[in-house]
Amino acid sequence: MQAALMENQGVLSVTELLIVCSVSCLVLMVAKSFWKSVPRGLKRVPGPRGYPLLGNILDLGKNPHLALTQMSQKYGDVMQIQLGAQPVLVLSGLDTIRQALVKQGEDFMGRPDLYSFQFISEGQSLTFGHDSGEAWRSSRKLAQNALKTFSASPSPTSSSCLLEEHVSNEADYLILKFQEVMKEEESFDPYRYLVVSVANVICAMCFGKRYGHNDQELLSFVNINNEFGEAAASGNPADFIPLLRYLPNRTMKAFKDLNRRFGTFIQKIVREHYTSFDKEHIRDITDSLIDHCQDKVDENANIQRSDQKIVNIVGDLFGAGFDTVTTALSWSLLYLATYPEIQKKIQEEIDQTIGRERKPRLSDRSVLPYTEAFLLEMFRHSHSSFLPFTIPHCTTRDTALSGFYIPKDTCVFVNQWQVNHDEKLWKDPSSFRPERFLAADGAGINRVESEKVLSFGLGKRRCIGESIGKGEVFLFLTTLLQKLDFSVRQGQTVDITPVYGLTMKHKKCDHFQIRQRF
């Protein structure tokens, strides 16, 4: 009888057997995650039920920030979803996020050991890397000091700081490019020129050089960054479903390739710096890092920094100073063209406070409250809250949050979008209204309100480029508005629906018109 059944039904092939074993293991992993014991006095984190093997992946759809915000209304600010075989903690609510990332920062400062993260700077990225120990702390401090030094130091050619000098030069060049284009075209998309100018600022700080707008090396770098954002936006299911790592995956292959190309780009420039390095003449951030590696041993980790460490740090600083600034400026121009009355108020403030002869300075931020309020609202608003989530965190040890038990190595999503649109925090959050951030007398910024905006994370993993990025956006924007008016061509409309991604970008808009103010 048994032989007859085998003859009729056939024996399982090796491939089928492997699939059955993999599925069985996934089922056991899911079951184990659900039934892990919870210490007495604590509660199990609530959350939606998922589908077998897939968990809640299908529930997230094309706009995970919106789906998770809606889920949090049912399950609370601390909830758990299942992505494949991996449980993921989702944090919403400003108080809850502050409690986790600031007050319990040591517990939530880790990065999950995701499969895709292994291919970013060979798994040693300051931003994406799994390490959060002494070596990481020392590297982060080194990166912060280098970034601060070469953004705040006096310029060799003027009394302004280096960041002001670089931005001022690039903004002037950008204005000329805009004016040239408007002589030839009825309208255009400013993004293609804006992105090169922003890239040149970070190139000047890191490499001590600027590129022409048609330079192929710079354009290659810009394209790599755009491709990285697109690949990250599509997500990597292999991070949460291990079986997919062994199957053909075009997106994952492209992700690996662009990270390899980016690493090669950075390595080439770092090697060039080694050949021309002069200890008595430190030119830029890369020179500063080389000098540190040659002469100093890390006191905490007691290790000599390798060349690869320099490449990784420089790569992270590029990421911190490029995509976020470009996206913020692009959204700012779109809002200004959409709300001309707001643009006029900013220009009037600039004219009255700075005038039309002197260039804007970083120190002007404190005397241009409406401009600052506009930027805060741009970071917060529904269409341009362009960092919907922080890069995922993970717990470094067993902990508790709001009475819920959170095991060690739990992947954590922080929903910044939810905070920036929480009706408990903001009156009419869907309206774009810079005035919400002004103090009662209109002469300054309401700091309590401004500190509610989440764009760069909180706590020990807060973006190292936040202060530099905000300063750069301010300088570019005020310099452009001092000289130019931005508008949309008559008869055309602008679609400000964001495209979901690692940063939320707006759709291409080639209807911009630019006019010289004086």
pLDDT, position 254: 80
**What's the rounded Cα separation, in Å, for the pair 205 and 200?**
9
Q: How many CB atoms lie within 10 A of CB 33?
A: 16
Among residues 267, 268, 234, the alpha carbon closest in space to that of 251 is found at 234
pLDDT, position 25: 53
DSSP class of residue 99?
I
DSSP class of residue 155?
P
Nearest-10 crossing angle of helices 340-353, 323-338: 110
pLDDT, position 328: 92
Rounded average pLDDT over 169-182: 93
- Residue 285 pLDDT > 60, yes or no? yes
DSSP letters along 366-423, please?
GG-HHHHHHHHHHHHSTTT----BPSPEE-SS-EEETTEEE-TT-EEEEBHHHHHT-T
Query: Does residue 461 contact residue 330 with C-beta atoms inside 8 Å?
Result: no
pLDDT bracket for residue 5 (50, 70, 90): very low
pLDDT, position 358: 92
Q: Is the pTM of this model over 0.85?
A: yes
Rounded average pLDDT over 166-187: 92
Least confident of 74-88, 158-172, 448-462: 158-172
pLDDT, position 7: 36
What's the topology of domain 36-516? Cytochrome p450 (1.10.630)
> Residue 123 half-sphere exposure, CB side, CA atoms within 13 Å?
7
**What's the rounded Cα separation, in Å, for the pair 239 and 5?**
40
Among residues 418, 513, 517, the alpha carbon closest in space to that of 64 is found at 418
Higher pLDDT, 496 or 351: 351
Helical ranges in 155-299 per DSSP H: 162-184, 191-207, 216-234, 250-276, 285-295
SS3 517: coil
Pairing of strands 404-406, 399-401: antiparallel
Rounded average pLDDT over 423-445: 94
pLDDT, position 451: 96
Please measure the distance between the N-terminal and C-terminal CA atoms of the chain and give it in whole angstroms. 96
**What's the rounded Cα separation, in Å, for the pair 193 and 185?**
14
- Residue 6 pLDDT > 50, yes or no? no
**What's the rounded Cα separation, in Å, for the pair 69 and 77?**
9
- Residue 227 pLDDT > 50, yes or no? yes
- Residue 26 pLDDT > 80, yes or no? no
Which two tokens mark 190? 């400013």
SS3 119: helix
Pairing of strands 393-394, 484-488: unpaired
pLDDT, position 509: 82
**Residue whose pair of structure tokens reads 């241009």 in the numeric block:** 368
